[in-house]
Structure 1
Amino acid sequence: MNKNKENIIVASLLIGGILVPLNSTMIAVALSSMASALNESLWMITWVVTIYFIVMAVLQPIAGKLGDLFGYRRLYLSGVVLFIIGSLGSGMSPNLELLIGSRALQAIGGALLTPNSTALLRLTLSEEKLSKTLGLFGLTSGLGAVLGPLVGGALIGIFDWHAIFLINLPLMVLSLVLSIVFIPKVNQEKLDKPLDFLGSILLAISIASLALLSKSESTGSMTGYAVFFAIALLLFFLREKKAKDPIIKLSLFKNSVFTAANLSVAISNFVMYAILLIIPLLMASQFQISETISGLFLSLFSISLSVSSFIGGRIHQRLGARKLVSYSFIGLVVVNMGFSLGIIISSWPLILIFLIIGGIAIGIAMPSMQMAYLSAVDPNMSGSASGIFSTFRYLGGIASSVLITVMSGFQYLFLLFAAVSLFGIVISRLYNRLEVNAMRHE
């Protein structure tokens, strides 16, 4: 494949890579205007955000498995089409019910295209090009999340809240056309096995229960969702052990590199979401800094994360996953200790410095984690592996949200995150290039 065609393929996939996270954060600035326009309470309007989050978390492992079964190109294109339809429906919704339904359809499209775009990159790019491209994807997805509120605010100021959905249409149509024309029908050995519907349902219930647990405000609802989560998760594992072709093949976790990559991203996202959720609260309560200024601080965090992810993709081949992941978690230990020190001496500039360092620490290892889990599985299971990786990424964020709702004391929380990061350093020792290569050639 010539270089120009490779670049067009990457560009077409990058459009989806930036729009999915953009749509998860762009809507934050539109909630109040939506509530006013649709004559709904702000609490009810937040379901437009919650449904997107839950559907993305639930469907990504299933979407990756569907890609293994029916072809990554087909599933990716289906995801783009559904994202377009969901965006159009959201932008033209006259009431909350249709808006939530369209938003769910948009999330289904995002869940389909995310793991299958990674699988397509795995099958169409060289290993050196792949690591650099994953770093570029980290940069664009991070920028998408950062730019979301800024783009959303500008669109609402010029037009109204409908524009934050309708802006997706020309970009996703461009992605669809480029993908149809340039993404080849890759030589993928499709798995001729039925989808594990029961396992999929149990997995969906367990993840949805955990996501709703993080949104609960009363002890009763938290207890109910926790019980649902525990029962569904137990039944899911029992089902996967017996299923002929499970939705998540537990045997994959026998490979220490695959296990390390998934645990690493869960821990990394656990700390990242904790920082994103706690810093605005800390700045307001201890330093009387407004949410607007805190948002600018978090933008610096996200920018440093995005840029370091791009750099991490460039240096992965030279340093390897083991070193980069280890450096990442060492950095996070230092960062969380620095946050605790900033609280003790009441210095917001010190916290800001460590916030930027934290972004660098998290971003630098992200491409290596992605390269590790992809390299540890057969190419024909890239979709399933990508879905599992995305699930662990979401689980880290959900677990962080739950912890913050049940614990108090910023200093103690940061010390806990430092301890969790120490566990990440231990996990990084499981990365082993020889084992990855052996798995690839089995």
Structure 2
Amino acid sequence: MKTSTMAIETTGAPSARGVLVSLSLSMLLSSLGTSIANVGLPTLAASFNATFQDVQWVVLAYLLAITALIVSVGRLGDLIGRRRLLLIGIALFTLASILCAVAPTLGLLIAARALQGSGAAIMMALTMALVGEAVPKEKLGSAMGVLGTLSAMGTCLGPTLGGVLIASVGWQGIFLINVPLGILALALAWRFLPLDRRGKRPGFDVPGTLVLVLTLLAYALAMTLGRGSFGPLNTALLLAAVLGVSVFVFIENTASSPLIKLAMLRNPVLSAGFAMSTLVTAVVMATMVVGPFYLSGALALSAASVGFAMSAGPLVAALAGVPSGRMVDQVGAHRSSLIGLVAMAAGCLILPVMPMSVGVFGYIAALVVITAGYALFQAANNTAVMTDIQPEQRGVISGLLGLSRNLGLITGASVMGAVFAFGAASSNIVQAQPEAVAQGMHMTFAVAAGLIVVAIAIGLMVLRRRR
């Protein structure tokens, strides 16, 4: 049975609710895979007798695999079928989780984490594309809000669940927990996702894919190696990434079946959505990178209190996801996006100020404003980008949207961390005086507010052009 609203062939009308549940679980797994590993790094360092810099690659390998592959697997889903590829991605993620748990050496664990990240890249790239097929336009905002809620829940649950599992069954538990969840996600996707459309498919752009993967990998490594210091290797990798972009553009302009049709980036809604997503996630990353140093260094909080304050962000994101999605459906994606950005700008302006006058609760209040604004922006921006696009481009556009977020997170961790260190005028933030840490916080979130203002300007231009 073929429909005009979905580029799929089904053997019966699938349950939209069942589709959303299966895709939400995939989104939960991919975000849980990121957050749950962080809490295990000290235990892994002790178990493998490794340095902290070495075990950090357990997290970095996962993030680098997602960043490098998310666009390519999105396009591959457009070509070979999104349901088929998503099932492969869930199975790959689940198998890699088992390999992580039984890894006898740190090197094999890092390799297994890269494989797990490849599965997560498939899940991240295709969940929004498949939701765009299964959910009516007037309900797409609510569906995006649900996906945002599950993603935030994975981030929020990771540290707590990981700590419990490590204490009870050891570090292997943080990977084995993915196995039953992965099997459940696989069963739900098999049951509820509609069958892929059959027919003639264009070829896959292998040269463009290889160049893009290497370019993104070079950029991600340039931003993450050195953990704050930008040396000759970082510079060389960044130059390689710039060269890679030029080569990629040339290949895409001459390919018969390009990985990315560069002409679609002339669509102001798409290009603006990608740009705003990168800017906004860089600001969100600043709260995660700079926040712990500010809470412990300037406000003199204990480790437990720092954890409590930091958990407010993911908790608010989880609670705000569904209401944000409903607001998008009622108010409209573009207006809702601007409202979310204005809230984030206000939060960035008051975050360095309120805690110094009212303490940690002032910090939490400002963080709540930023996170609630981000939840609304994310639901609105995802809806705006994924609405009114060609069915055969949903996978690659969803992948580009995921890539824009990942690039924002990676860039935010590096650049905003460097701004914080510069503002504090200290090479060792841990030993810096409270006044210096507070000064670094002021500078960081002044820059963050500026980035949000740029995003607002982009959003206003798009809204004006639509009118």
For 1:186 and 1:366, how far apart are their aligned partners in 2? 28
Q: Is the 8 A contact 2:141 2:333 kept in 1?
A: no
For 1:252 and 1:356, how far apart are their aligned partners in 2? 36
For 2:246 and 2:370, how far apart are their aligned partners in 1? 35
More divergent stretch after superposition (123-132 vs 384-393)? 123-132
Q: Which of the numbers 182, 185, 210 marks the counterpart of 1:175?
A: 185
What is the letter of the counterpart of residue 276 of structure 2?
S
More divergent stretch after superposition (170-179 vs 122-131)? 122-131
What is the letter of the counterpart of residue 167 of structure 2?
G
Deviation of 1:166 after TM superposition, in Å, equals: 0.9
2:361 corresponds to 1:349: yes
Question: Aligned residue for 1:120?
Answer: 130
Question: Aligned residue for 2:372?
Answer: 360
Deviation of 1:376 after TM superposition, in Å, equals: 3.8
CA deviation map 1:27-55 (0-9, x unaligned): 11111212222232222111111100000
Question: Aligned residue for 2:381?
Answer: 369
Question: Aligned residue for 2:243?
Answer: 231
For 1:337 and 1:129, how far apart are their aligned partners in 2? 33
Q: 1:189 to 1:280 in 2, by over 3 A?
A: farther
Question: Aligned residue for 1:197?
Answer: 206
Which residues of structure 1 form unaligned runs of 5+? 437-442
Q: Is the 8 A contact 1:305 1:364 kept in 2?
A: no
SS in 1 for 2:279: helix
For 1:242 and 1:401, how far apart are their aligned partners in 2? 35
Question: Aligned residue for 1:139?
Answer: 149
Question: Aligned residue for 2:274?
Answer: 262
Q: Is the 8 A contact 1:213 1:402 kept in 2?
A: no
Question: Aligned residue for 1:339?
Answer: 351
What is the letter of the counterpart of residue 313 of structure 1?
G
Q: Is the 8 A contact 2:348 2:448 kept in 1?
A: yes
Which residues of structure 2 form unaligned runs of 5+? 1-9, 424-440
SS in 1 for 2:311: helix
Q: 1:356 to 1:167 in 2, by over 3 A?
A: same
Deviation of 1:406 after TM superposition, in Å, equals: 3.1
2:18 corresponds to 1:34: no
Q: 1:350 to 1:3 in 2, by over 3 A?
A: farther
Question: Aligned residue for 1:416?
Answer: 447
Question: Aligned residue for 2:316?
Answer: 304
Count of aligned pairs between the two proteins: 435
Question: Aligned residue for 1:319?
Answer: 331
What is the letter of the counterpart of residue 403 of structure 2?
T
Q: Which of the numbers 49, 66, 69 marks the counterpart of 2:76?
A: 66
Q: Is the 8 A contact 1:134 1:313 kept in 2?
A: yes
Question: Aligned residue for 1:379?
Answer: 391
User: If the length of structure 1 is used for normalisation, what is the TM-score?
Assistant: 0.93
2:103 corresponds to 1:93: yes
CA deviation map 1:301-328 (0-9, x unaligned): 1111222222111121210112111111
Deviation of 1:112 after TM superposition, in Å, equals: 1.1
Deviation of 1:186 after TM superposition, in Å, equals: 4.1
Q: Is the 8 A contact 1:255 1:376 kept in 2?
A: no
What is the letter of the counterpart of residue 22 of structure 1?
L
2:191 corresponds to 1:160: no
Q: 1:6 to 1:403 in 2, by over 3 A?
A: same
Q: Which of the numbers 212, 223, 226 marks the counterpart of 2:221?
A: 212
What is the letter of the counterpart of residue 169 of structure 1?
V
Q: Is the 8 A contact 2:18 2:192 kept in 1?
A: yes
Q: Is the 8 A contact 1:214 1:405 kept in 2?
A: no
More divergent stretch after superposition (131-140 vs 291-300)? 291-300
Q: Is the 8 A contact 1:87 1:102 kept in 2?
A: yes
For 2:58 and 2:159, how far apart are their aligned partners in 1? 16
More divergent stretch after superposition (106-115 vs 406-415)? 406-415
SS in 2 for 1:429: helix
For 2:398 and 2:241, how far apart are their aligned partners in 1? 23
Q: Which of the numbers 32, 50, 53 marks the counterpart of 1:22?
A: 32
Question: Aligned residue for 1:8?
Answer: 18
For 1:220 and 1:254, how far apart are their aligned partners in 2? 35
For 1:162 and 1:426, how far apart are their aligned partners in 2? 47
Q: 1:299 to 1:250 in 2, by over 3 A?
A: same
Question: Aligned residue for 1:185?
Answer: 195
For 1:54 and 1:169, how far apart are their aligned partners in 2? 22
Q: 1:15 to 1:429 in 2, by over 3 A?
A: same
CA deviation map 1:79-123 (0-9, x unaligned): 011011101101111111221121111111111122212222111
What is the letter of the counterpart of residue 216 of structure 1?
L
What is the letter of the counterpart of residue 208 of structure 2?
G
Question: Aligned residue for 2:94?
Answer: 84
Q: Is the 8 A contact 1:332 1:361 kept in 2?
A: yes
Q: Which of the numbers 397, 404, 416 marks the counterpart of 1:404?
A: 416
Report the aligned-residue RMSD.
2.2
Question: Aligned residue for 2:284?
Answer: 272
Deviation of 1:298 after TM superposition, in Å, equals: 1.8
Question: Aligned residue for 2:64?
Answer: 54
Q: Is the 8 A contact 2:345 2:370 kept in 1?
A: no
Q: Is the 8 A contact 1:260 1:430 kept in 2?
A: no
SS in 1 for 2:353: helix
2:458 corresponds to 1:427: yes
What is the letter of the counterpart of residue 96 of structure 1?
L
Q: Percent identity?
A: 26
Q: Is the 8 A contact 1:188 1:380 kept in 2?
A: no
For 2:193 and 2:444, how far apart are their aligned partners in 1? 46
For 1:311 and 1:154, how far apart are their aligned partners in 2? 30
For 1:375 and 1:73, how far apart are their aligned partners in 2? 20
Q: 1:127 to 1:376 in 2, by over 3 A?
A: closer
Q: Is the 8 A contact 2:281 2:409 kept in 1?
A: yes
More divergent stretch after superposition (378-387 vs 234-243)? 234-243
Q: 1:342 to 1:99 in 2, by over 3 A?
A: same
